[in-house]
Amino acid sequence: MAVQQQVTVVTDSTSYLPGGVAEELGVQVVPLQVQLGGRTGLEGVDVTPADVCAALRVRTPVTTSRPTPAEFVEVYRAALDAGASTVVSLHLSAELSGTCDSARLAAAEFDPDVVRVIDSRSAAMALGFAVLAAARSAASGADPQLVEQAARRSLERTSALFYVDSLEWLHRGGRIGTAAARFGTALAVKPLLHLSDGRIMPLEKVRTASKAIARLVQLTVRAAGTDPVDVAVQHLASPDRAAEVAGQLKEALPHLGQLYESEVGAVVGAHVGPGLLGVCVTKR
């Protein structure tokens, strides 16, 4: 007899789940908005990564905005009306976006603990891996507390490292401070960054792009250690670089499970600019 799923998992569009996985696991995705000059659309619906890259390259203003609390209320209510007893809602770091605040305001419209909101303190597939862990737990029939624990355990065991060609876009969007932006402004210096307690922080300076990418692989291998891991390699307008890194990680990680390759969406793309190469590694 099939197990009745008690919990519906909700996330936002910056989790960048692998294609088809949200539908397969019943994850509900609430999109953020992106404004390109005078045009506004939903991430992953109306606005693509290519749209954002094209706008940035010609200096068209690009801004992003969180979903409204009303949009979250609608998704939560639909999940509960469909038979879920509880919603576990995981979102982009509150240090980077007001999305989590919108989700919390929406959760307040329901009885306590019916909607449980988690600030991932993360982004992209570092968030996505936690969403997958929660959704798989929910699909197994786990109770809300265990689903939430699965998400939090994944977040604790996941590292996010990334390389950008320039810190200009992060600085313009206010996602990295002036002092940190100066970290990568010296001639021919390429910055490596990481997510630390929900914030984007400088990690190392490397002299060239090729050395930075090689170092990204080394740091990923170090983060994995000897544990079985899943890895996501993500990029913006750099598929060849992503494929190169993925190939190196396949050889370097003896206990590699799933390896995902994908392009980040418009929201993260708007803040990092073309040339992003990121790796998220999660210990099983």
| Residue with token string 């803040």 | 271
The partner residues of 36 in beta bridges, in order of sequence, read: 39, 62
The model's pTM is 0.91
User: Which residue ranges of the chain lie beneath pLDDT 50?
Assistant: 1-3, 175, 178-181, 183-187
Q: Domain spans of the chain?
A: 7-32+67-156, 158-283
Taking the C-alpha atoms of residue 163 and residue 167, their distance in angstroms, rounded to an integer, is: 10
- What pLDDT shows up at residue 223? 95
- What pLDDT shows up at residue 188? 53
- What pLDDT shows up at residue 181? 45
- What pLDDT shows up at residue 165? 78
Strand ranges (E), 99-180: 115-119, 158-163
CATH of 7-32+67-156, one of 3.30.565.10, 3.20.20.100, 3.40.50.10170, 3.30.420.10: 3.40.50.10170
Class of domain 158-283: alpha beta
- What pLDDT shows up at residue 32? 97
Strand ranges (E), 20-100: 28-30, 33-36, 39-42, 62-65, 86-91
The phi and psi torsions of 259 (rounded to 5 degrees) equal: -125, 115
- What pLDDT shows up at residue 38? 87
